[in-house]
Amino acid sequence: MNVKKFEFSSEEREEILKEYQLNHPVRAYKRLLALKLKAIDGMRSEEVAKIVGIEHSTVNKIINRYKAEGMQAIVGKRHIGEHRYMTNEQEEAFLAPFVALAKEGKIIEITDIYNAYQEAIGHPATRNAIYYILEKHGWRKIMPRGRHPKKASGEAIAAYKKNQ
């Protein structure tokens, strides 16, 4: 069996131990625990994987990332959510002219907002992004009625015309 051997300097071991003793989210803690067991306790990847509850190949990936990128790769925020093009304040400022039009009683079409949004961010976006923004800011889809709800039926209109 081919065993990959990782060498850790005393500074790296101290850094790992110091960071391990701090509070971290569960995912970062698992990565730190794997790193600690491998670097300080000298355990094999298979043993570390059983203890931590991950695959042994993941243990090696964690160590390789630590060697290449440092402690930030282990405890840092790996995925930053909310891939938005504007902040909430910018979105509110963007929607302000459309709110003014709506208060005047004008009909606003999604196409107008969509084109203005693409112009504001400087590149194409999906229509779903617009619908997400509108929903987030309390807008709802209101369409003009096809007919008045109290409009008489066709028979009632015909009967009325006969009586005239």
- pLDDT mean across residues, the chain: 85
Give the other-Cβ count within 10 Å of 154's Cβ. 8
Pick 42 or 82 by higher pLDDT: 42
Q: Buried (b) or exposed (e) across 15-46, using 16+ Cβ within 10 A?
A: bbeebbeeebeeebbbbbbbbbbbbeeebebe
20 pLDDT exceeds 90?
A: no
pLDDT at residue 1 tops 60 = no
**pLDDT value at residue 115:** 95
Q: Say if pTM beats, i.e. exceeds, 0.85.
A: no
Q: Give the model confidence (pLDDT) of 66-122 as tens digits.
A: 888 888 888 876 656 666 788 889 999 999 999 999 889 888 888 999 999 999 999
The full set of domain ranges for the chain reads 10-75, 88-136
* Average pLDDT, integer, range 129-151: 83
Residue 69 and residue 57: Cα distance in Å, rounded? 18
**DSSP annotation of 63:** H
Q: Residue range 32-40: average pLDDT?
A: 88
Q: Say which DSSP state 153 is in.
A: P
Q: What average pLDDT does this structure show over 33-41?
A: 87
Euclidean distance between CA atoms 134 and 141, whole angstroms: 9
Cβ contacts of residue 66 below 8 Å, gap of 6+? 35, 73, 74
What is the reported pLDDT for 93? 94
Which pLDDT score, from 0 to 100, does residue 2 have?
A: 59
Q: Residue 12 in contact with residue 70, Cβ under 8 Å?
A: no
Q: How confident is the model at residue 3 (pLDDT cuts 50, 70, 90)?
A: low
